[in-house]
Chains A and B, each alone.
Chain A
Amino acid sequence: MADRRDREGIVVRDVTMTYERRGITTTAVDGCDLIVPKGSWASLLGPSGCGKSTLLKILADIVRPTSGIATMDELTPAEARAARIFALVSQQSVMLPWRRLAENVELGLEVAGVSRRERRARAREAIELVGLSGFEKAYPHELSGGMRQRGAIARALTLRPKFLLMDEPFGALDELTRERLNFELIQILEETGATLLLVTHSVSEAVILSDKVAVMSPRPGRIVHVASLPFGHHRTPELRDDPRFVAAERELRHALGSGGAPDAAAPPEPAAPDRALVAG
């Protein structure tokens, strides 16, 4: 039973990603193993340059691993992308500036060839879910960063994805907005039942949003510790006062500290070493 949930979830087995730039070979990800059962929430936590974004990009079929297996619901990333079973939310909300919010949110469905009536209905649903009702006709430049990011989440949700891949989605926002959005995201996840894989460098965000946190260390990128969190999926802001929350944070900080110091001089992760996959 658990085994099937594992298989239908995210499976990363011995995934390695190396690339060469100017004659120097860098190992972004080294032999990572991770299982995120279907319907559960997981985070990749670590400092800059630890490979967490690369691992996510491998799953999102933006980058190809040098070796290893990565699957979602037993499909390879390329198959998963073609079947549209996942949605990616990145740090930049990537709204098309010439489209209004509703049209931006509809973009995924539009590309998938869904009829206009259904697109409109699903977009409206998603916009309501993220709390942006009333702003359908606004242009991205008229919205705040937090609103744009909510729009990006809405766009992801219209696809009713089985898997939600998020790469530091709230990284560009101020802390207050970020905290609020964290708990809003929890409600959305509860309602949609998607499997979440979140990349973050914030310890508290990882604890708030996960059942399982994989701590990664840089150069080479390895998973050095996996923490399981006992909180269910129904979480409120009071969670932060829970002693188990504090303990979990402590455990993770310790793991971060010992697994290779967050090095300020760590080279930035490459945007997408194998751009060939995203040819224009």
Chain B
Amino acid sequence: MKRITRKLLEGVAGVRAAAAFLLAALLLWQLVTSTGLVKFYVLPAPSTVLEAMARFRGELGEEALATLTVALAGFALGTVAAIAVAMTLTYSRLVRTAVYPLLLALRALPFIAIIPILVVLMGTGYEPRITICAISTFLTTLVNLMRGLRSADGEVEELMHTLNATGMQRLLKVRVYAARPYLLAALRISASSCVIEATVAEWITGDSGLGYLVQISGYTFQIGLMWAAIVVASALTLALVGVITLIEKVAMPWAPQAPGAGAAV
């Protein structure tokens, strides 16, 4: 418990410096927009956005919940599926070699192109939105898990060999742990992707959610509300990523710093 509080406080200190700059940026933004230099429909003043957030907080809350539900449902489904498949794939190198390039290729597909197909197959409503989130989470998490499960040090493998460990023991005692940082990195990426995908999917299925809200407020030229919806969506993403980062710090106290795994975004 003490450790968690300490980490939280450390995070807060870092936030203070950034918060100062953020405040300065906001003030600058307010100034610029009030001089009328920038057209209102490009960049409304922060005051306008805040006002919209206050006025429409009911709608914003409702739609935020809709988007969040979709994103979380897809995220959970995709993660569980990815873990299950990753475990099964450990048994066959042939299947792994066949599947891995396909997974990489699938990840390169622009998700927005897939959504209309899903809508055609599943109709409008929650299903295609949850599915796209689930698919993208599944792909990202599975690819990273597979890398993570292979990432155990050669010397650790050698040690387990000399200790006469079985394959299952190696999997459960070593490889699963070696994969944890990769899994958490993938979760972080998937969480933010899910919010984006849920939002964009709403344009196409269009009946609820923050993306839908952005669209219709656009039609009625309520720029403040448009931006307010975006701000809420960003806050959602930050919150999700923050939760996962917190879980990471608690679940992996042995890592003095999170390993890079390349340069993850």
A225 contacts chain B at the CB level, 8 A cutoff = no
Contact of B158 with A62 in the complex, beta carbons under 8 Å: yes
Q: How many B residues face the partner with a CB closer than 8 A?
A: 27
Contact B157 A98, beta carbon cutoff 8 Å: no
Which residues of the other chain, B, contact A99 by a CB distance below 8 angstroms?
Answer: 254
For the residues of B in contact with A, the DSSP-based class is: helix
Q: Contact partner of B160 among A61, A92, A111, A140, CB < 8 A?
A: A111
Cβ proximity bits A70-110 to B, threshold 8 Å, 1 near / 0 not: 00000000000110101110101010111100000001101
- Which residue on chain B has the smallest CB distance to residue A61? B162
B249 within 8 A of partner (CB): no
Interface residues of B in 89-148 (CB under 8 A from A): none
| Minimal Cβ-Cβ distance residue in B for A278 | B161
B235: Cβ under 8 A from any A Cβ: no
Which residues of A are found within 8 Å of B180, using beta-carbon distances?
98
Whether A97 pairs with B158 at a CB distance below 8 angstroms is: no
Query: Is the pair B152, A280 in contact by a Cβ cutoff of 8 Å?
Result: yes
- Whether the Cβ atoms of B155 and A90 lie closer than 8 Å is yes
Min distance, Cβ B160 to any Cβ of chain A, angstroms: 7
Query: Given contacts A107-B173, A141-B254, A280-B152, are A94 and B159 in contact (CB under 8 A)?
Result: yes
Question: Are B256 and A81 neighbours in the complex by a CB distance under 8 Å?
Answer: no
> A278–B157 Cα gap in the complex (Å)?
7
Q: Specify the chain A residue showing the minimal Cβ separation from B150.
A: A280
Question: Complex Cα distance A98/B148, Å?
Answer: 14
Q: Are B165 and A280 in contact (CB under 8 A)?
A: no
Chain B residues positioned under 8 Å from A139 (CB to CB): 253-254
B155 touching A60 by the CB < 8 A rule? no
Using known A-B contacts A62-B162, A81-B162, A88-B162, determine if residue A96 contacts B174 with beta carbons closer than 8 Å: yes
Is A141 in contact with B158, judged by CB distance below 8 angstroms?
A: no
Question: Which B residues touch A62, using CB under 8 A?
Answer: 158, 161-162
Interface size on A, residues (CB 8 A): 29
Answer whether residue A112 sits at the interface, using C-beta atoms and an 8 A cutoff. Answer: yes
- CA of A98 to CA of B253, assembled, Å: 8
Could you tell me if A98 and B158 are in contact, using CB atoms closer than 8 angstroms? no
For B156, give the chain A residue with the smallest CB separation.
A94
Q: Please indicate the chain A residues that have their CB under 8 angstroms from the CB of B256 in the complex.
A: 141
- Is A277 on the interface with B (CB-CB < 8 A)? yes
Chain B positions within 8 Å of A92 at CB level: 155
A271: interface (CB < 8 Å): yes
Check if A272 is an interface residue, CB within 8 A of chain B. yes
Report which of B153, B163, B164, B177 forms a contact with A98, defined as CB distance below 8 A.
B177
Q: Which of B150, B158, B169, B252 contacts A278 (CB 8 A)?
A: B158
Write the nearest CB–CB distance from B95 to chain A, whole angstroms: 16
| Distance between Cα atoms of A139 and B152 in the complex (Å) | 18
| A101-126 residues at the B interface, CB under 8 angstroms | 107-108, 110-112
Query: Which residue of A60, A81, A96, A110 has the most chain B CB atoms within 10 A of its CB atom?
Result: A96
* Chain B neighbourhood of A88, CB < 8 A: 159, 162
Nearest-Cβ distance from residue B103 to partner chain A, whole angstroms: 20
Known: A61-B162, A277-B161. 4 other contacts (CB 8 A): A81-B164, A98-B177, A112-B164, A278-B157
Q: List 7 A-B pairs, Cβ < 8 Å.
A: A61-B162, A62-B162, A86-B162, A96-B173, A96-B177, A98-B180, A139-B253
